[in-house]
Structure 1
């Protein structure tokens, strides 16, 4: 429940797909010295809060935000926000802000011990997925999504929030049990990144308090603190004048406000309350340099971090500046993306932009992940683009496209204003409370965006780089593999690289814009051959004159969204092992080359201002497309589908760059414990089939652009085998002519293909393999049960029930009772083709010394499931959770697209989902015991363990 402190999205725009308006995107304009005009005074006025939210403050200082929102229906999201975090801990409390967050789930006044989680699970709320919390440096936030159509659950939800606010019991027995859980959470983060962060954080944060207050804390404190220490933290800081309750959902605002006043008015502030100091990271004016190496670091990464005071986002002027920042970052990212598309890219990855930091700072950061032995080349390349921008600025065409994108996204958001999910509003109000960031609401957002965007000038954009790219408050950080330590540059050398680039006679960026039509040839329109309606499913089935099949499902879940997917059988299964590498990369290589008259870079520019995505794919058993668009952009999306089929491009220069980077990325792969173990898992579970084992230079060398292009064209040569599914804001009268023109014109041979059974699967028998890699005292465990499966809708749902019941028990036993893991996981997978198979995977991380004990416990739980069946209460929890999950899923375009496409892909009836209630009624302790006994026999059992290297 701990996550690294990152400033979250700050305006409602972030929750509806627009570029985030963050404090990092605000330019720092000095206030005018002359008398302010009426317009200037208005611009300096604080923006009003979204008028659709009711905000109040109780006499004790407790704040509340309440908003009615019916998306999703019969649901409400509650957040308890606390303006406190690890930054407030004393030396003796390091880690206790986060520990306190954990203890809130381990017993409160009205929900002793684990009763809180049990109650919520029975109410259909999943622990971890729904019920959760996080602790940062300056905030601790609890989140609780609930059904709102049950008054008792809603009432108890408020009681839980009230208990968290000031009535956590902090039982010493529960505290001691939780120590192990926290230490296992801490263990998960151990590795090269964590070790290097310890060395670089104090420098980046200028030796401020933030550098010594990581929320996860210190092992010494976590193991040894006395219960009174955490009680002291709770008494001091969990107080109403630092708290807010945010409630958004399908509720009655007036009734909710009355309930909040009744429930939270008696919260007490301490008699002698400690001041809530607002800590800062100081700007010293100094430059700093550090090189850190680690034997598990997979590549050499260099960063230039130029720190600045982060401006506020409160007034119209601030808002306009934030838009400038958003445009700046958007245009700059496109330049670096274009730079990476070369025959010989100068780096593995590179980029720059303005980002949030901590303690009131933002920064301009230039980052490069260098090719092996080419740090100087990569560093100069990324710095050169920032220098070019500083000297010459952006072009008008770049700015015009960025503006077009911004306005288009805003317009799309407005069209979805009554379909915006409650979560987006909650996140916005959270930032308003925690950081006083303006949240004027969508209507005002729209007004301000359309008011300011057209008038933003190139001069303003170009002033941003001159302001931010400075030679003071600049840190240079280099992180590299240990084996390259001797070749790492000194500070003087890196400064010499900067000086050398600054002295170069650079040319201004040339914006290569293509004005040709997208397609070389226009399609010859086909016809709709047959049409039938399925009233029960609410779908229309079409067959086009070339054999293309189309499923249309009109919904009202979104106002401005169409999702689509297409498939035909075959995929890479039809090609030999010698061709596999080319076949598996074919779709990606074609997409990287562009289509029709446009390269990939030109295509990005052509699509500016359009809300759509189209991507071809070739998987093992099928090929096709995935995509999305607005109704207004659907024709362009279908043009792309037509172009990817009939006019794909082969770009040898792009191909060379992709292959070069793929080879360079392998240089230190064998030093990364997680990648080594992941490759081993994939290899063992495929019986070491060459198509599943890890990447290698030999495999990369087998990729042929010509062969990949040939395979791609073969896979998409027969449209008669394609089935398209469209879901969303569909107007059949408008979409049918587009389908006839762009899909009905696709080439067709009439040939039917089926994928081949390659015989790749989890091997039978009992297998054990241990990998020794890494230096940290941490282990990763995978326990895999697999075998043949009688595929059916009923058996699939029963296996999901077993998965959930087993995961509940794994959490209770391995985490809560034994304190040996942080988040045990259970996953299930089933397949109908090429063979009816299943797999159940139990996974967890733990201390190496506890591996055998915890594996024994996990296997014991599986055996109990076979012999006794799951506990009835856990079966009921699964039913409650799944029914509630399904209620909301059925109201989403994503669910229907996935469901319809999957049923078609595996040749199952589309009306199976109507069997849900009857099938769920068949799920019981005895039926799950029976299916567990049948499939979890232990005859096919694989144990895979990652342990540190032996010394």
Structure 2
């Protein structure tokens, strides 16, 4: 039953609390013409599994959703759904699990029935499991890793202390750690008792018409407590500068990556991501102007940023470019000179700041026209425990209020006060 409801006026949505511990957020979306989209998620996923069950969890996420459900075999279920505009996918990811289902309005009960069946009566097709295992083993045994592949694998281990979540899934690991009897328990750990799940429903239909299906099928999911605390808490990152260089590249050029990482997030992650987006755009423009236009030593420069709170806080910024081996150090020095100048003189990039702001607002307006906009924004807000909805409702104002000094402070923290991992992939035939 629905035991609680409230309006979320900021985004014109409705929140329902069900008696089995499930939360439902309904948002009317005129872009979903004659359709309904149901997206459910909960923290946990593979990182909430014991290390001995981790690999079985990986295989459960690929085998069980394709094994049919209840009395239906995989083929029988496909036959039953043929000709129907109904889909339902279950996902087991590293730090969360979830489901995405969609259908036409006149077929939504079939969609809810399919979700309920696959949730409450999963099964393992043993023939399919063996096929997936054999294919994975064959892929491991036949793939040929280049020296560049080995370089990148070693670099990943430098960026974060390696553990069981980072291992290459070898033939031995597959044979020893994938247990058929462990797949359903691992899967049910991610699904099973539905407490703590949030379902976001978007449709151009009314909530009143959908409520009976919410109560029957989402409200009918199993009750019971679930433990979704992370067993894997994330590896440690370097606290001192690192230089990692190998002669392993097949290209005559060197590939340079300057990587910066922080293990804390000040404020909420939405504010951080906005600062990252602004800083990324400005920094790339400045680096292109110097490294390509002025020095003529690179064709392009890549700047990437990312941040997560799961399973623990981690921010990572990367500046990358390709160049002649002899030019590596000069370009690295110039990169840090550009960063230092930006921090010392925020007014020097005021023009670039305005261009980046204009582009971000333009992209935001385009993104809002996508049918998936509200599902994504609501999920990210709730999943990251953001206390309000201002990052959505006040987005344009937030962008416009960012100053050059804000950007300079952010760049100083991320790029100057953070130890750098300097990774250089040199050509195999390069002479020292």
Same fold? TM cut 0.5: yes
Task: State the match for 1:790 in structure 2.
Answer: 266
Q: Per-residue deviation at 1:774?
A: 4.6
Distance apart, 1:849 and its partner CA: 4.3
Alpha-carbon separation, structure 1, partners of 2:74 and 2:146: 32
Matches within 5 A, 1:154-165: none
- Taking the TM superposition and a 5 Å limit, the aligned residue runs for 1:179-328 are none
Deviation (angstroms), 1:900: 0.4
Q: 1:164 maps to what in 2?
A: none
Query: Deviation at 1:751?
Result: 4.5
For 2:148 and 2:112, locate their aligned partners in 1 and report how far apart those are by CA, in whole Å.
40
Partner of 1:925: 404
The CA distance in 2 between the partners of 1:676 and 1:632, in whole Å, is: 52
d(CA) in 1 for partners of 2:144 and 2:417?
32
Query: Is the CA contact 2:259–2:317 (under 8 Å) kept in the aligned structure 1?
Result: yes
Post-superposition shift, 1:677? 4.1
CA RMSD between the two structures: 2.5
Structure 2 gap segments, 5+ residues each: none
Residue 727 of structure 1 corresponds to which residue in structure 2? Answer: 202
Aligned-partner Cα distance in 1 for 2:32–2:323? 43
Q: Which residue of 2 aligns with 1:831?
A: 308
Q: 1:597-608 maps to which residues of 2 (within 5 A)? A: 597-608=71-82
Runs (4+) off by over 6 Å:
none
Residue matched to 1:141: none
Distance between the aligned counterparts of 1:609 and 1:852, measured in 2? 61
Tell me the SS of whatever aligns to 1:719.
coil
Contact 1:595 1:643 in 2 (8 A): yes
User: In the superposition, relative to structure 1, how do residues 758 and 536 fare at CA in structure 2: closer, same or farther (>3 Å)?
Assistant: closer
Pair 1:837–1:714, CA change in 2 (3 A): closer
> Does residue 844 in structure 1 map to residue 351 in structure 2?
no
Matching residue of 2:10: 536
- Give ranges in structure 1 of 5+ residues lacking alignment: 1-526
| Aligned counterpart in structure 2 of residue 663 of structure 1, from 126, 132, 137 | 137
Secondary structure of the 1:882 match is: helix
| CA distance in 2 between partners of 1:810 and 1:599 (Å) | 57
Name the structure 2 match of 1:697: 171
In structure 2, what is the equivalent of residue 593 of structure 1? 67
Between stretches 529-538 and 736-745, larger displacement belongs to: 529-538
Higher mean C-alpha displacement, 759-768 vs 532-541: 759-768
1:906 match: 384
Task: Quote how far apart the aligned CAs of 1:943 are.
Answer: 1.9
Relative contact order, CA 8 A, sep 6+: which one is greater? 2
Q: Please tell me whether the aligned partners of residues 867 and 933 of structure 1 are also in contact (alpha carbons under 8 angstroms).
A: no
Distance in 2 (CA, whole Å) between partners of 1:713 and 1:858 is: 49
| Secondary structure of 1:840's aligned partner | strand
Could you say what secondary structure the match of 2:428 adopts? coil
Match of 1:57 in 2: none
DSSP 3-state at the match of 1:671:
coil
Equivalent residues in 2 for 1:94-133 (5 A)?
A: none
Q: Distance in 2 between matches of 1:685 and 1:618?
A: 25
Matching residue of 2:252 = 777
Partner of 1:645: 119
How far did 1:723 drift?
0.7
For the residue of structure 2 that corresponds to 1:886, the secondary structure is helix
The equivalent of 1:860 in structure 2 is 337
Aligned to 2:56: 582
DSSP 3-state at the match of 1:857:
helix
Displacement of 1:687 after TM fit? 1.7
Q: Secondary structure at the match of 2:243?
A: strand
1:58 is matched with which residue?
Answer: none
Corresponding position of 2:279: 802
What's the offset of the Cα at 1:822? 3.9
- 1:703: Cα distance to partner? 2.0
For residues 619 and 901 of structure 1, what CA distance do their matches in structure 2 show? 15
Q: C-alpha distance in 2, partners of 1:816/1:599?
A: 61
Q: Secondary structure at the match of 2:141?
A: coil
CA distance, structure 1, for counterparts of residue 243 and residue 114 of structure 2: 48
CA distance, structure 1, for counterparts of residue 257 and residue 202 of structure 2: 37
In structure 2, relative to structure 1, the CA distance for the partners of 1:779 and 1:634 (3 Å cut) is farther
CA deviation after TM superposition for structure 1 residue 883, in Å: 1.0
Partner of 1:391: none
1:704-752 Cα distance to aligned partner (Å, 9 max, x none): 2321221111221211211111123333232211212221111010456
Partner SS, residue 550 of structure 1: strand
How many residues are matched? 425
**Equivalent residues in 2 for 1:374-453, closer than 5 Å:** none
1:942 to 401, 417, 421: 421
Task: Tell me what 1:744 maps to.
Answer: 219
* Contact in 2 for aligned 1:631/1:730 (Cα 8 Å): yes
Classify 1:560/1:809 alpha carbon distance in 2 versus 1 (closer, same or farther; 3 Å).
farther
Asked if 1 retains the 8 angstrom alpha-carbon contact of 2:259 and 2:316, the reply is yes
Q: C-alpha separation between the residues in 1 aligned to 2:82 and 2:299?
A: 44
* Partner of residue 895, structure 1: 373
Quick one: structure 1 residues 632 and 683, their matched pair in 2 at CA, closer, same or farther if it must change by over 3 Å? farther
Q: Structure 1 residues 599, 852: CA separation in 2 closer, same or farther (over 3 Å shift)?
A: farther
Instruction: Determine the C-alpha separation between the residues in 1 that align with 2:73 and 2:218.
Output: 23
Asked if 2 retains the 8 angstrom alpha-carbon contact of 1:791 and 1:831, the reply is no
Instruction: Tell me the residue number matched to 1:546.
Output: 20
Q: Distance in 2 between matches of 1:683 and 1:592?
A: 33
Q: Is the 8 A contact 2:2 2:16 kept in 1?
A: yes
Give deviations 1:402-443, integer Å, cap 9, x for gaps. xxxxxxxxxxxxxxxxxxxxxxxxxxxxxxxxxxxxxxxxxx
Q: 1:325-377 CA deviation, whole Å, 9 max, x = no partner?
A: xxxxxxxxxxxxxxxxxxxxxxxxxxxxxxxxxxxxxxxxxxxxxxxxxxxxx
Are 1:824 and 1:844, in contact at CA under 8 Å, matched by a contact in 2? yes
Shift of 1:638: 2.2
Cα distance in 2, alignment partners of residues 896 and 638 from structure 1 = 20
Contact 1:848 1:947 in 2 (8 A): yes
Q: TM-score, normalised by structure 2?
A: 0.89
Name which one, 1 or 2, has greater alpha-carbon Rg. Answer: 1
Distance 1:886 1:936 in 2: 27
Q: Judge conservation of contact 2:50–2:231 (CA < 8 Å) in 1.
A: no
Preserved contact between residue 141 and residue 171 of structure 2 (Cα < 8 Å): no
Task: Indicate how the Cα distance of structure 1 residues 881 and 561 shifts in structure 2: closer, same or farther if over 3 A, else same.
Answer: farther
SS in 2 for 1:773: strand
Residue 566 (structure 1) aligns with: 40
Deviation at 1:616, TM superposition (A): 1.4
Q: Structure 1 residues 715 and 680 mapped into 2: Cα distance closer, same or farther (>3 Å)?
A: same
Maintained 8 Å contact 1:789/1:935: no
Q: 1:604 to 1:943 in 2, by over 3 A?
A: farther
The alpha carbon displacement at 1:802 in A equals 0.6
Residues 809 and 601 of structure 1: is their aligned pair in 2 closer, same or farther, counting only changes over 3 Å? farther
1:153-199 alpha-carbon deviations (Å, 9 max, x no partner): xxxxxxxxxxxxxxxxxxxxxxxxxxxxxxxxxxxxxxxxxxxxxxx
Q: Is 2:395 the partner of 1:916?
A: yes
- The alpha-carbon deviation at position 590 of structure 1 amounts to 0.8
CA distance in 2, matches of 1:599, 1:646: 15
Asked whether 1:885 is paired with 2:363, we answer yes
2: distance between equivalents of 1:756 and 1:887?
39
> Is 1:593–1:654's contact at 8 Å kept on the other side of the alignment?
yes
Question: Which residue number in structure 2 is paired with residue 315 of structure 1?
Answer: none
Distance 1:882 1:705, change over 3 A: same
